[in-house]
Chain A
């Protein structure tokens, strides 16, 4: 990973975590859907970032959210799992020509369909493990699944809204 990614990513981590902790953690639609946008921090890291750094970043981001929500290590555990499975998934989804150096796993670089599958799977892994650990039993399995899907849809929609709002600026910069 080249050094120029470190500063913007650190700033992005801080901003997204602040938004998650102080705004989104207090949002809950009908008791079923809780938007969790911070997994996109890990999802959108450049493809070339070494696996161990991704896992470590996931753990730290999750733990930061945990510190503020009295959840022990639930966010950390699920985001670490997601960070660990990111590399195998990227390998599975690799196009025949392979990834280019410094390529980003975004819909702009990889195409809409690719991104939906990639982000969808990772987001599902994170949300499902999070809600499973949160209820801490298989007793409410159906409810956990419903919560996973509803929250996943809300998280994904929020992400799209945020990135669409940021898009016009990028065009000007070109």
Chain B
């Protein structure tokens, strides 16, 4: 009798183990798919609130750094105003408020951020109530940061560019050659640009900027500086390692880009796809 009980208790543990592992793995697979970051994540209301609370302490220690970053941005904006005066106000020969590139920016605070995982996410302290929706581009004054993948009422979850699932359209500033920004994992200071044509001559120190082909980021926004260029024999593409212009480990305040006519552009593009399909 005691033996039977002993065996039963053993089987019981194995059964429990298998069930719990199945639950855990289904949660893992949910996180790894791009669109379904559901159930357990830090845009959740409770966890968002907890992070918001602890961020209050954390923020205090980052005040100096945040101040310096704001000063630098101020200086850059002043510089831009200088250039703006080349175009006199009310000059009718200039296109009025280029509607294709009309953007609004929402500022948000980073309340949680990781850089050393394979799938890194960032939590922001703003959400649906502040006008954030999924697929909005997130950047800080120095460069791009990531794309919003999920929003709750008060918080948003951002897929960092340091996420192996992330893929962003970028271009080489000098030659205008297009490529895909990816992260191979492990090193938060190294991103790679894939599928960039060999015909574009690239060298160390060149700038990589956003392409503006996707409606997520504004065009010509800084992304990174070329660190290393590798030419693989037998393919028409080169492999480019870049250093992101923004230190993703230290982001505190970010801008979320709201494109006023994003949905118009997107639905137009979708229509074209459909028509091409129909024609076939």
Contact = CB atoms under 8 A, between A and B. Distances in A.
Given A52-B12, A70-B157, A84-B13, A76 B20 contact: yes
Given A52-B12, A72-B29, A135 B24 contact: no
B27 interface: yes
Contacts of B32: 72, 136
A80 B17 contact: yes
Contact of A70 (B24, B26, B42, B116): B42
B17 to A, nearest CB: 4
A70 B118 contact: no
Interface in A50-103: 50-52, 55-56, 59, 62-63, 66-74, 76-77, 80-81, 83-84, 87
A25 B247 CA distance: 19
A70 B37 contact: yes
Interface residues of A, number: 35
Given A52-B13, A52-B16, A81-B21, A22 B40 contact: no
Nearest to B123: A70
B27 A72 contact: yes
Interface in B219-265: none
B27 A56 contact: no
B167 to A, nearest CB: 17
A133 B118 CA distance: 10
B200 interface: no
A31 B188 contact: yes
B9 A51 contact: yes
Contacts of B119: 70-71
Chain B interface mostly: helix
A74 B27 CA distance: 8
B267 to A, nearest CB: 31
Interface in A14-41: 22, 25, 28, 31, 34
B54 A22 contact: yes
A84 B119 CA distance: 27
A71 B20 contact: no
Given A55-B16, A87-B13, A143-B186, A70 B41 contact: yes
B31 to A, nearest CB: 3
Contacts of B29: 72
A84 B24 CA distance: 14
A91 to B, nearest CB: 11
B30 A72 contact: yes
Interface centre among B14, B24, B117, by most chain A C-beta atoms within 10 angstroms, is B24
A136 B54 CA distance: 30
Given A67-B40, A72-B40, A134-B118, A59 B27 contact: no
Closest 10 CB pairs of A and B: A73-B27, A72-B31, A73-B24, A77-B24, A51-B13, A72-B28, A84-B17, A76-B24, A72-B27, A70-B121
Interface of A: 22, 25, 28, 31, 34, 50-52, 55-56, 59, 62-63, 66-74, 76-77, 80-81, 83-84, 87, 133-136, 140, 143
Interface of B: 9-10, 12-14, 16-17, 20-21, 23-32, 37, 40-42, 44, 47, 50-51, 54, 114-119, 121, 157, 185-188
8 contacts: A28-B115, A51-B12, A59-B20, A63-B40, A69-B42, A76-B27, A80-B20, A134-B118
Given A25-B114, A70-B119, 9 more contacts: A31-B186, A55-B13, A59-B23, A62-B24, A70-B121, A72-B29, A72-B30, A72-B31, A77-B25
